[in-house]
Amino acid sequence: MNHFFKTFFACLLALFVGSIGFVMVSFIVLAGIIATLGSLGQSKYIGSVEPHTVLQIDLAQPIVDKPNGSAIDLFDYNDFTFRDQLTLFEAVTLIEKAADDPRIDGIYLNIPMGIPSSISTLYELRQALTAFRESGKFVLAYADVYSQGGYYLASAADRLYLNPQGGVAWQGMASNVMFYKGLLDKLGVQAELVRHGAFKGAGEPFVRESLSEENRLQTEAMTSSVWNFLVSEIAESREVAADSLQAYASRLAVGTAGDARRLGLVDSLYYRDQLLAELARLSGQDSTEGPELLPLQKYKYADSHNGAFTVAGNPMADNEIALLYADGDIVDAGDPNKQIVGNALAETLADIRKDSTVKAVVLRVNSPGGSALAAEIIWREVHLTQQVKPVIVSMGNYAASGGYYISCGAEYIVTAPTTLTGSIGVFGLSFNVGEGARNHLGITTEVVKTNPSADMGNIFRPMSPAERLYMQNGVDSVYARFVSVVATGRNLSRDSVDHMAGGRVWTGTQAMENGLADCTGTLSDAIRIAADHAGLMTGDYYVGQHPTPESSSFAAILGALTHAAVAKVTASTPTLLTDEAQRLRALIDRHGIRTEMPLRIEMQY
């Protein structure tokens, strides 16, 4: 009995001590969370900017088109902080602010070997840098190796510097198209394609192993148009003949840093320490101590006492120009932070339409398209909003097919010269995985039905002739509606729209010439046009981003931690799908009638 009580009280004591320890540890962890939360805003505040500061733009940090509204994706679980992000809108706004800031002497562009930004993003940054130079301040660029995209951006600088052992990649532009028919054959999957428009090749990668004649033609035209634009811009900035630049690319004439210097592509061959000494000299600093550098991400919070980004325009104004992002594939359901979800974006537009403080809307479209129904739902809200207040579309890297569809409800369309747009066409795609499921996974099915097509859409059998005709009629109906939307929105005849449609993709420059866009320009241009159409002067409004940039609130931190825990549990759970089956699922998700860019083209620049 004594032994029993000894054991009992020992266990009770251990439980008591353990509980006290757990409470203490929990308290310490909670205190750490609160301390971290308090420091998040503090760490962003940098105080005032020192005189003779040089603004440093490091392109190794991605400049995104749309702010990430999810704190989960930006939370760094290693050091318990949120990774900062910089949107294109913010970057351009900061460059414009720096041009008028007497404490900023110039800009230093640090160009990495590869830039994680689209060519249209680089175009808009380049325009901002060119305007900055017009203020009388300097822009210097440096790289160990310039990629073509990096060199295009850097060519806007007053002077270009290159590592003496580096180089400039200058060989022309290529477009890579990936085809999946061989993979589907290997998996025992048959794809069936129905489309309206010879250039509507979005389904071609699933039924062909190479480009059709029509899609080769349009891919060559797109690639050449973008490349020729880049060459013309560089030729003007560097005062080198465009024909010479084309010849250098064809002959691979720029093999070394010395070649780049001799051919006039760069101004000087410097090591980085020499470049920093030059920056110090230009900003009136001691070259031995180096220049006063301020990263663009930090300048974002300069003179801010709450770690918040100062919005463009007048933050004290009562009138808002809403900057609404439509970024990603257009889907019927999904994550609004990563895709354009039809009903979700339409609901946001409806809220903006009903908000009397919002005087105009800039819809930033960066999408290759997707679901035809979701595009129609969004278009309807754009159209309704346009009847109440001005809606101006600003096109990013893509605004094609469904992305162009939703743009046609707006009053005015601004496109970058390098935007890929148009693609007025429709396709339907169906997959039959029956053979592959049987041979690779051992799965068979049997269907009992009341009518011949009761199981239409069943991915374990091919379409019947009646079902194929049904899909073709659906595709033709959506195409007719698409043409009508474009004709009405752009004030064009149906015949003229049909003539330039057929699923063909155009660059922004070509789209303007065809009447599919109103002008070429930047997001900043679109905002100014929106203000003008709303009758607002510069000091009468501010620009509000929708969705708003990420939150670093206590709830956001807890949400991020919860997401991490769930992800860890999920990662340890065995899956029933093989790697091949998972890849197959990703392909099958594209079934049905879609307004989507003909081909997912990867441009090497």
Which segment, 56-70, 154-168, 204-218, is predicted with the most confidence on average? 154-168
- When mean pLDDT is compared across 27-41, 88-102, 248-262, 322-336, the lowest value belongs to 27-41
Q: Is the pLDDT of residue 331 over 50?
A: yes
Predicted local confidence at residue 79, as pLDDT: 52
> Does any domain span residue 566?
no
Tell which residue, 547, 420, 523, has the closest CA to residue 88: 523
Whether residues 15 and 97 share a domain: the answer is: no
Block residue for tokens 């001799």? 262
Predicted local confidence at residue 69, as pLDDT: 57
Determine the 3-state secondary structure of 245 from DSSP: helix
Structure tokens at 7: 């054991």
| Amino acid identity for residue 426 in this structure | V
Q: What is the residue range of 34's domain? A: 1-44
Report the chain's mean pLDDT, rounded to a whole number.
Answer: 83
Q: Of residues 66, 137, 200, 389, which has the active-site annotation?
A: 200
Whether residues 346 and 374 share a domain: the answer is: yes
What are the pLDDT digits (tens) for 123-152?
999 999 999 999 999 999 999 999 999 999
Long-range contact set of residues 34-37: C-beta below 8 Å, sequence gap at least 24: 34/554, 36/80, 36/81, 36/557, 37/552, 37/553, 37/554, 37/557
Rounded to whole angstroms, the Cα distance separating 457 from 251 reads 53
Whether residues 425 and 521 share a domain: the answer is: yes
- When mean pLDDT is compared across 17-21, 234-238, 264-268, the lowest value belongs to 17-21
CA distances for 150 relative to 122, 145, 254, 279, 462, angstroms: 8, 9, 15, 20, 48
Predicted local confidence at residue 593, as pLDDT: 64
Whether residues 228 and 339 share a domain: the answer is: no
Full-model pTM: 0.82
> Does any domain span residue 248?
yes
> Does any domain span residue 184?
no
Q: What's the rounded mean pLDDT across residues 156-173?
A: 96
Predicted local confidence at residue 565, as pLDDT: 46
What are the pLDDT digits (tens) for 37-92?
444 444 455 568 889 999 999 988 888 888 875 545 555 545 555 556 789 999 99
- When mean pLDDT is compared across 275-284, 539-548, 576-585, 594-603, the lowest value belongs to 576-585
Whether residues 291 and 395 share a domain: the answer is: no
User: Which alpha helices (DSSP H) does 58-198 contain, by range?
Assistant: 71-74, 88-99, 119-133, 148-154, 181-187
In this structure, are residues 484 and 490 in contact, taking their beta carbons and an 8 Å threshold? no
Q: Is the pLDDT of residue 417 over 60?
A: yes
Structure tokens at 431: 């997959």
Catalytic annotation present for 401: yes
What is the percentage of the chain residues whose pLDDT exceeds 90?
53
CATH of residue 424:
3.90.226.10
Catalytic annotation present for 371: no
DSSP for 385-453, written as a single string: HHTTS-EEEEEEEEEETHHHHHHTTSSEEEE-TT-EEE---EEEEEEE-HHHIIIII--------SSTT
Q: Is the pLDDT of residue 100 over 50?
A: yes
Q: Of residues 401, 423, 524, 552, which has the active-site annotation?
A: 401
Predicted local confidence at residue 199, as pLDDT: 76
What are the pLDDT digits (tens) for 584-593?
454 455 556 6
Give 258's pLDDT tier (boundaries 50, 70, 90): very high
Predicted local confidence at residue 268, as pLDDT: 97
Whether residues 144 and 291 share a domain: the answer is: yes
Predicted local confidence at residue 68, as pLDDT: 75
> Does any domain span residue 591?
yes
> Does any domain span residue 374?
yes
Predicted local confidence at residue 596, as pLDDT: 64
Q: Is the pLDDT of residue 552 over 50?
A: no
> Does any domain span residue 203?
no
Give 602's pLDDT tier (boundaries 50, 70, 90): low
Whether residues 243 and 365 share a domain: the answer is: no
Whether residues 254 and 359 share a domain: the answer is: no
| Amino acid identity for residue 257 in this structure | A
Which segment, 10-19, 185-194, 207-216, 354-363, is predicted with the most confidence on average? 354-363
In this structure, are residues 173 and 226 in contact, taking their beta carbons and an 8 Å threshold? yes
Whether residues 276 and 336 share a domain: the answer is: no
Predicted local confidence at residue 18, as pLDDT: 54
Whether residues 434 and 287 share a domain: the answer is: no
Q: What's the rounded mean pLDDT across residues 404-410?
A: 96
Predicted local confidence at residue 24, as pLDDT: 55
Q: Is the pLDDT of residue 529 over 70?
A: yes
> Does any domain span residue 325?
yes
| Cα dihedral: 574, 579, 583, 586 (round 10) | 0
Whether residues 294 and 327 share a domain: the answer is: no
Whether residues 243 and 334 share a domain: the answer is: no
Q: What is the CA radius of gyration of the chain?
A: 28
> Does any domain span residue 557?
no
Structurally, the chain folds into a number of domains equal to 3
Q: What's the rounded mean pLDDT across residues 324-344?
A: 92
